[in-house]
A and B are shown apart, each in its own frame.
Chain A
Amino acid sequence: MRRVMIIDESRCVGCEACVLACKNENDVPEGMYRDWVTQEARGTFPELSLSIRSERCNHCQDAPCVTNCPTGASHYRGDGTVQINRALCTGCRACIAACPYGARFVHPDGYVDKCTLCVHRLDRGQGTACEEVCPTQAIAVGDADDPTSEVARRMRRASLYVLQPEAATRPNVAYVR
Chain B
Amino acid sequence: MQWARGMNALTFSRRRFLGVGAGTMAAMAATQADSVFRGYGAHAGVHDPCTDGRVVRTVCELCFWKCGIQAHVLRNHVTKIQGSPLHPLSLGRLCPRGTGGGGLAHDPDRLVRPLVRVGPRGSERFEAVSWEVALGTIAEKLEVIRRRHGPEAVAMFNHGAGASWFKHLFRAWGTNNIAAPSFAQCRGPRDVAFDLTFGAEPGSPETLDIAASDCLVLIGSHLGENMHNTQVQEFADFVAKGGDLIVVDPRFSVAASKARTWLPIRPGTDTALLLAWIHVLITEGRYQREYIERYAQGFDELARHVAPFTPEWAAAETSLDPELIRSTARRMGAAAPAALVHPGRHATWYGADDTQRSRAIAILDALLGAWGHRGGIFVPAGMRLAPYPTPPYPSARPAADRRPGEAPFALEPIAQGLRRATLDSDPYPVKAWFVYGTNLIQSLPQKAETIRAIQSLDLLVAVDVIPAEIVGYADVVLPEASYLERYDDLIGLSWRRGAVALRQPAIPPLGDSKPGWWIAKKLGERLGLGAYFPWRDIDDYLEERCRRSNLDLATLKRDGVIVGPERASTVEEGLALSFHTPSAKIELSSERLRERGFDALPVYRRPADPPAGFFRLLYGRAPAQTFGRTANNRQLGELTHGDRLWLNASAAARLGVRNGDRVRMINQDGARSEPVAVKVTQRIRADCVFLPHGWGHTARGLRYARGKGVDDGDMITRVDVDPVMGGTGMRGNFVSIEREG
**Which A residues are closer than 8 A to B by beta carbons?**
8, 10-11, 13-17, 19-21, 23-27, 29-31, 33, 37, 41, 43-46, 48-50, 52, 73, 75, 77-78, 83-88, 108, 116, 119-120, 123, 129, 132-138
Task: Give complex CA distance A72, B225 in Å.
Answer: 43
A-B contact pairs, 30 of them (CB 8 A): A11-B240, A13-B236, A15-B96, A15-B623, A17-B96, A20-B100, A20-B638, A20-B639, A24-B80, A27-B13, A27-B49, A31-B638, A33-B638, A41-B252, A41-B681, A46-B252, A48-B257, A48-B682, A49-B257, A50-B254, A78-B43, A87-B44, A120-B47, A120-B48, A133-B99, A134-B93, A135-B94, A135-B229, A137-B236, A138-B236
Shortest Cβ distance from B14 into A: residue = A27
**A75 contacts across to B, CB distance below 8 A:** 43, 45
**A25 contacts across to B, CB distance below 8 A:** 49, 51, 80
Residue from B16, B79, B252, B649 within 8 A of A24 (CB atoms): B79
Binary flags per residue of B124-138, CB closer than 8 Å to A gives 1, else 0: 000000000000000
Q: Smallest distance from the beta carbon of B408 to chain A beta carbons, Å?
A: 39
Query: Which B87-138 residues sit within 8 Å CB-CB of chain A?
Result: 92-96, 99-100, 102
A135-B638 CB under 8 A given contacts A15-B624, A24-B81, A44-B682: no
Shortest Cβ distance from B33 into A: residue = A27
**Which B residues are closer than 8 A to A by beta carbons?**
12-16, 33, 35, 38, 43-49, 51, 79-83, 92-96, 99-100, 102, 223-225, 227, 229, 232-233, 235-237, 239-240, 252, 254-255, 257-258, 262, 264, 623-624, 634-636, 638-640, 648-650, 681-686
**B639 contacts across to A, CB distance below 8 A:** 16, 19-20
Contact B82 A132 (CB under 8 A): yes
Q: Smallest distance from the beta carbon of B630 to chain A beta carbons, Å?
A: 12
Contact A135 B682 (CB under 8 A): no
Contact A88 B45 (CB under 8 A): yes
Other contacts beyond A13-B223, A88-B45: 4, CB < 8 A? A14-B254, A24-B81, A45-B650, A83-B43
Shortest Cβ distance from B93 into A: residue = A135
Contact B232 A136 (CB under 8 A): yes
**A30 contacts across to B, CB distance below 8 A:** 12-13, 16, 634, 638
Q: Smallest distance from the beta carbon of B235 to chain A beta carbons, Å?
A: 8
Contact B233 A50 (CB under 8 A): no
Q: Smallest distance from the beta carbon of A84 to chain B beta carbons, Å?
A: 6
Task: Give complex CA distance A24, B635 in Å.
Answer: 9
**B255 contacts across to A, CB distance below 8 A:** 13
Contact B252 A135 (CB under 8 A): no
**A44 contacts across to B, CB distance below 8 A:** 649, 682
Task: Give complex CA distance A134, B12 in Å.
Answer: 21
A24-B51 CB under 8 A given contacts A13-B225, A14-B623, A133-B99: yes
A45-B96 CB under 8 A given contacts A20-B638, A27-B15, A29-B15: no
